[in-house]
Chain A
Amino acid sequence: MLSDLKKAMWVSLMIIIVSGLLALFSASFQNSRVTQEVFYNQLVFSILGVVAIFFLGRVDHRRYYDLAYIAYGINVFLLVAIFLFGYYALGAKRWIEIFGFNFQPSEFMKLSLILALARYYTDHKPKVSFYNPWSRPAIVSDFFIPFAMTAAPAILIFKQPDLGTAILLVGIFFVMAFAAGVSTKHLGGFLGVCLLAMPILWHMMKPYQKDRLLVFLNPNVDPLGAGYTIIQSKIAIGSGQIFGKGWLSGTQNQLNFLPERHTDFIFSVIGEEWGFVGSVIVVVCFYLLILSGLRAVEQTKEKFSHLAGAGIVAIFALQVIINIGMVLGLCPIVGITLPFVSYGRSSFLVCILMFGFLLSLARQRKMF
């Protein structure tokens, strides 16, 4: 049964990676320089990634417990370093060069934060459910310390500016706290306070600040107007109809109407060229992948691995849902990539690490 689980995970993953590579090739083949930069890069990375996953799946997931705070510390340090050494690209300061590689520490922060919070909640079991919920130590250890651990990198990332990832980090906090067993009543109250604060914050802002926030929400605001990107994306997906226009034949894609089609909007290319049938296959594969991950997490008894696995599955699912929802026009456009499909080495590497962790959970069961 567990080997079935692993098989399901591998098959879904391979379908997702291959369809992503096909889409990337289609989006780049007309320009050999871009093909070189985007497609071959991603192809090499995918092959290395699959090999890496294979080995990562064999690593004892309990090792991550030891690494959790170290990884978190290094990552926050890198985010600070970005302000000193990072460089701008696409209007934001997100990248840093280490040993000749360009890193996007904000991508890694997602995993680091999950691991750090998983360890924190393993070491400090939520007390609110057992003691007086309003006791000061409970609130401090259940909320304030982990929230501070989240807020520090989130603010640094928000400043880059990258609102999408910053929001994801806050999302991670809620997911982890929820999975760790913090009282839903209080979690809900906290969430409510956060949500209530948003419109107040919005009203306090000046018009140009609001505009700036809208630009945060959509870092690639188009000169033709804010709606251009989403309109073109919907046209691309909708015009694919049931069976699609065929690989390499999507007019929205090939004629450049689709902006950001290598990264955030790669799913539009799939929707246009492979139609409803192709899109649903990819979506279902994502669903199977997430569900298998969740199954593996369910069967994990260790507190840390269970929490980290839940966080990884949740963040993975959140990214898929937000990204596809955004290209369909169901959510606002925040710069969130589609795992394993969008071009981007940092995001791909983080996905590999996360998936490797989930796979190691599935493998670990055999030992018991």
Chain B
Amino acid sequence: MRLKSFKVIITFSFIILIVGLGYTQIFQGEYYQQLSVSNCIRVVPVHSNRGRILDRNGIALADTLAAFDVLVIPQELQDRDELFSFLGSVLGFGQGRIDAIYQRKRTASFAPVVIAEDVPREKAIILEENKFRFPGLLVQVRSRRHYPFGEAGAHVLGYVAKMSQERIERLKEYGYTIDGVMGYSGIEEQYDQMLRGVNGGLQIEVNNRGQQVRVLGMKVAHPGEDVMTTLDARIQQIAQTLMREQRGVIIVMNLDDGAILGMVSAPSFDPNDFASEAASNNRVRYFTDTRAPLFNRAIRGQYPPGSVFKIPVAIAGLYTKKINPHTTFVCHGSYTLGNRAFRCSHTHGAQDFTQGLGHSCNVYFFNTGLIIGPKLMEEYARLFGLGVFTKIDLPYEERGHVPHPDGFRARRWSKGDTLNFSIGQGDLLVTPIQIVNMIATVARDGRQIQPYIAQSIGAHAQPQGQVARVIHLPKNILDQVKEGLRAAVAGEGGTARAVFMKDLLVLGKTGTAQSSGNQEHHAWFVGYCPSAKTRIAFCVFLEYGGSSYNACRVSAQLLKEMKALEIL
């Protein structure tokens, strides 16, 4: 009798078991299937190799190397002293120092501690071979961006770093992932999409400890493309050496096609510091230094051009026939407007056009400016690319500023403003690349060239030698201006005599621009070499560099060294 109730209870329990099985395996089967897949399948990203950045001769300016880091996992350590003395003997530092690094960096027992970064390959192999003897020792390979020339041309190249949160948000639709790196500033940022390639991935099956059991699938990573630039590593190094103690810019551009051969902004930074944990102090310094070493002055720095601006003023005067080559003004060392004296550098006496430009006589251009008026000067400034983006293939270019005499700030445009404007002072601000572009336009008889840095990406050549715009100017006007530019370098009492070279024709214009406050003046020299082996336009700008004479000396040195290397 009582066995009947056994039967009922047992039958009931078995029905529950079968219902339970059905619920788990049929009703929830899909769900558990997915859980079991995510349990044992991992996708491991395979990072593509970032493309190189090359100079015009194929020399690597930025390369990707394998870096070996030595790490220690605290919780897996067994014999710490033995491991550290072994590490010390291989790495060549004392055991005490390794212990000190370990003590300083250790955070949690599971978090690996970086003992040494970027260990040479041979040492990494020795450590890897002995890994089994020392539990807790880890040698990790990572790819590291390497810039062989360090500070030279760092601004043009940019650097590579981990993505910031803001950039991930903005770029995640384009396949950027949080663990990736990306280019910041310069070529690295401008051509990041081409340089980075396409990441691949491995789909692997893992066991309960996360160890790989086998590979299920693979998506091949496509390496990034090399970007060949127009830069010449030799010019970059010369320029970097010349600017070592200065702040400022050197730009060298090929007159014929607009290729940038050299571009250096000083003070510079070492982009290798962004690829190394150990250099984090340097990175902090770059961001906090008041001299702004990360700032690319060549395309972002906005400065008054000073006398360099006399070139478009002169052209405006000649073209509108308000002056002619024989127009003469007498310089008494200053120009008096009302009760205010606008000074010239010297007392030049009577100056014709060529002398006025060659001697950079302020009084000559005060008079010219007053005759042609500020609106015409503004028009010519813009015509020659001042206050206009050059559209060079680098990110974050600045526009500069050309004042509008009509809609001028709160007060009315005064005659004094016109005087300042005519010698490139006052509200006028330009970037060094605009100035190079301007002199090149003069040298090329009004055919404005498009400056560029990337000449080919992978196998694809970039457009080069493109004429951005043609300014129709009578040849005789340009010849007159060029005569003045030649006189500045080669002429008697020319302001740029320091640049004169017996075996090289150089034409150019100096500029000494007043800076704000009581600081030193900015020094400019902008010129071109129309008959050299490689026809170039160039600019040397020294921020707070004092007299333009300093810029001329640097220019002379630059040309001499380029000549010695038979570039010119």
Q: Is A291 an interface residue (CB 8 A)?
A: yes
CA distance A324 to B13 in the complex (A): 11
Q: Determine the chain B residues whose CB is within 8 A of the CB of A317 once the complex forms.
A: 6, 10, 13
Q: Determine the chain B residues whose CB is within 8 A of the CB of A276 once the complex forms.
A: 21-22, 25-26, 29
Q: Is B161 an interface residue (CB 8 A)?
A: no
Which residues between 298 and 333 of chain A lie within 8 Å of chain B, taking CB atoms? 298, 310, 313-314, 317, 321, 324-325, 328, 330
Q: Determine the chain A residues whose CB is within 8 A of the CB of B389 once the complex forms.
A: none
Q: Is B18 an interface residue (CB 8 A)?
A: yes
Pair A291/B7 contact, Cβ less than 8 Å = yes
Q: Contacts A251-B40, A252-B36; is A237 near B3 (CB within 8 Å)?
A: no
Q: Is A104 an interface residue (CB 8 A)?
A: no
Q: Is B209 an interface residue (CB 8 A)?
A: yes
Which residues between 214 and 264 of chain A lie within 8 Å of chain B, taking CB atoms? 232, 234-242, 251-252, 255-257
Q: Determine the chain B residues whose CB is within 8 A of the CB of A178 once the complex forms.
A: 2
Q: Is A181 an interface residue (CB 8 A)?
A: yes
CA distance A276 to B17 in the complex (A): 12
Q: Contacts A251-B39, A321-B14; is A314 near B21 (CB within 8 Å)?
A: no
Closest-CB distance, A276 to chain B (whole angstroms): 4
Q: Determine the chain B residues whose CB is within 8 A of the CB of A241 once the complex forms.
A: 25-26, 29-30, 32-33
Q: Is B24 an interface residue (CB 8 A)?
A: yes
Classify the secondary structure of A's interface with B: helix
Closest-CB distance, A146 to chain B (whole angstroms): 16
Contact bitstring B18-61, A, C-beta under 8 A = 1, else 0: 10111011101111110111011000000000000000000000
Give the contacting residue for B6; candidates A234, A272, A275, A314; CB below 8 A: A314
Pair A279/B39 contact, Cβ less than 8 Å = no
Q: Contacts A241-B25, A276-B25, A321-B14; is A310 near B35 (CB within 8 Å)?
A: no
Which of B200-208, B354-362, B369-377, B490-498 interfaces with chain A? B200-208
Closest-CB distance, B197 to chain A (whole angstroms): 33
With a 10 A CB-CB cut-off, give which of B21, B22, B39 has the most chain A CB atoms. Answer: B21
Interface bin, chain B: 20 to 34
CA distance A242 to B28 in the complex (A): 11
Across the interface, name the chain A residue whose C-beta is closest to B41: A251
Q: Is A8 an interface residue (CB 8 A)?
A: no
Across the interface, name the chain A residue whose C-beta is closest to B10: A317
Q: Is A287 an interface residue (CB 8 A)?
A: yes
CA distance A251 to B39 in the complex (A): 9
Give the contacting residue for A242; candidates B3, B29, B39, B207; CB below 8 A: B29
Closest-CB distance, B38 to chain A (whole angstroms): 10
Pair B25/A297 contact, Cβ less than 8 Å = no
Q: Is B101 an interface residue (CB 8 A)?
A: no
Pair B13/A321 contact, Cβ less than 8 Å = yes
Pair B10/A234 contact, Cβ less than 8 Å = no
Across the interface, name the chain B residue whose C-beta is closest to A282: B21
Pair A235/B39 contact, Cβ less than 8 Å = yes
CA distance A339 to B141 in the complex (A): 52
Q: Contacts A234-B24, A242-B26, A276-B22; is A290 near B208 (CB within 8 Å)?
A: no
CA distance A294 to B14 in the complex (A): 15
Q: Size of chain A's interface in residues, with CB distance under 8 A?
A: 41
Q: Contacts A239-B33, A287-B14, A294-B7; is A255 near B40 (CB within 8 Å)?
A: yes
Q: Is B213 an interface residue (CB 8 A)?
A: yes
Q: Is B16 an interface residue (CB 8 A)?
A: yes
Q: Is A15 an interface residue (CB 8 A)?
A: no
Closest-CB distance, A341 to chain B (whole angstroms): 14
Q: Contacts A179-B2, A181-B2; is A256 near B36 (CB within 8 Å)?
A: no
Which residues between 332 and 359 of chain B lie within 8 Å of chain A, taking CB atoms? none
Closest-CB distance, A76 to chain B (whole angstroms): 27
CA distance A276 to B206 in the complex (A): 26
Q: Determine the chain B residues whose CB is within 8 A of the CB of A294 once the complex forms.
A: 3, 6-7, 10
Q: Determine the chain A residues whose CB is within 8 A of the CB of B16 once the complex forms.
A: 325, 330
Q: Contacts A239-B36, A251-B36, A310-B3; is A328 near B24 (CB within 8 Å)?
A: yes
Q: Determine the chain B residues whose CB is within 8 A of the CB of A286 once the complex forms.
A: 14
Give the contacting residue for B3; candidates A179, A256, A271, A324; CB below 8 A: A179
Q: Determine the chain A residues whose CB is within 8 A of the CB of B209 once the complex forms.
A: 256
Pair B3/A238 contact, Cβ less than 8 Å = no
Pair B21/A283 contact, Cβ less than 8 Å = yes
Closest-CB distance, A87 to chain B (whole angstroms): 28
Q: Determine the chain A residues whose CB is within 8 A of the CB of B6 once the complex forms.
A: 179, 294, 310, 313-314, 317
Q: Determine the chain B residues whose CB is within 8 A of the CB of A252 once the complex forms.
A: 36, 39-40
Give the contacting residue for B24; candidates A181, A237, A283, A290; CB below 8 A: A237
Across the interface, name the chain A residue whose C-beta is closest to B213: A255
CA distance A236 to B32 in the complex (A): 8
Q: Determine the chain B residues whose CB is within 8 A of the CB of A234 once the complex forms.
A: 24, 32
Pair A256/B208 contact, Cβ less than 8 Å = yes
Pair B29/A238 contact, Cβ less than 8 Å = yes
Q: Determine the chain A residues whose CB is within 8 A of the CB of B24 once the complex forms.
A: 234, 237-238, 271, 328
Closest-CB distance, B333 to chain A (whole angstroms): 89
Pair A239/B32 contact, Cβ less than 8 Å = yes
Pair A325/B26 contact, Cβ less than 8 Å = no
Q: Determine the chain B residues whose CB is within 8 A of the CB of A235 once the complex forms.
A: 32, 35-36, 39
Q: Determine the chain B residues whose CB is within 8 A of the CB of A237 once the complex forms.
A: 21, 24-25, 32
Closest-CB distance, B34 to chain A (whole angstroms): 8
Q: Is A2 an interface residue (CB 8 A)?
A: no
Across the interface, name the chain B residue whose C-beta is closest to A276: B25
Q: Determine the chain B residues whose CB is within 8 A of the CB of A257 once the complex forms.
A: 36, 39-40, 207-208
Contact bitstring B295-337, A, C-beta under 8 A = 1, else 0: 0000000000000000000000000000000000000000000
Q: Determine the chain A residues whose CB is within 8 A of the CB of B205 once the complex forms.
A: 251, 255
Pair B20/A239 contact, Cβ less than 8 Å = no
Closest-CB distance, A241 to chain B (whole angstroms): 4
Pair B3/A325 contact, Cβ less than 8 Å = no
Q: Determine the chain A residues whose CB is within 8 A of the CB of B37 once the complex forms.
A: 239, 251
Q: Is A280 an interface residue (CB 8 A)?
A: yes
Give the contacting residue for B25; candidates A240, A310, A313, A324; CB below 8 A: A240
CA distance A330 to B16 in the complex (A): 9
CA distance A251 to B41 in the complex (A): 10
CA distance A235 to B36 in the complex (A): 6
Pair B25/A271 contact, Cβ less than 8 Å = yes
Closest-CB distance, B4 to chain A (whole angstroms): 9
CA distance A280 to B18 in the complex (A): 7
Q: Contacts A239-B33, A257-B40, A330-B20; is A279 near B14 (CB within 8 Å)?
A: no
Across the interface, name the chain A residue whose C-beta is closest to B33: A239
Pair A238/B208 contact, Cβ less than 8 Å = no
Closest-CB distance, B227 to chain A (whole angstroms): 44
Contact bitstring A120-156, B, C-beta under 8 A = 1, else 0: 0000000000000000000000000000000000000
Q: Determine the chain A residues whose CB is within 8 A of the CB of B7 once the complex forms.
A: 291, 294
Q: Contacts A237-B32, A271-B21; is A256 near B39 (CB within 8 Å)?
A: no
Closest-CB distance, B434 to chain A (whole angstroms): 64
CA distance A279 to B206 in the complex (A): 26
Give the contacting residue for A297; candidates B3, B26, B36; CB below 8 A: B3
Closest-CB distance, A328 to chain B (whole angstroms): 5
Q: Determine the chain B residues whose CB is within 8 A of the CB of A290 once the complex forms.
A: 10
Pair B33/A283 contact, Cβ less than 8 Å = no
Q: What are 26 residue pairs bridging A and B, where the CB atoms are less than 8 Å apart in the complex?
A: A179-B6, A237-B21, A237-B24, A239-B37, A242-B26, A242-B29, A251-B40, A252-B39, A255-B208, A256-B209, A257-B207, A271-B25, A276-B26, A287-B10, A290-B10, A291-B10, A310-B6, A317-B6, A317-B10, A321-B13, A321-B17, A324-B17, A324-B20, A325-B20, A328-B17, A330-B16
Q: Which 5 residue pairs across A and B have the least CB separation, nearest first?
A: A238-B32, A241-B29, A239-B36, A276-B25, A256-B208
Interface residues of A (CB under 8 A from B): 178-179, 181, 232, 234-242, 251-252, 255-257, 271-272, 275-276, 279-280, 283, 286-287, 290-291, 294, 297-298, 310, 313-314, 317, 321, 324-325, 328, 330
Q: A240-B29, A271-B25, A280-B21 are in contact. List 6 more A-B contacts (CB 8 A).
A: A232-B39, A239-B35, A241-B33, A251-B205, A255-B40, A325-B20
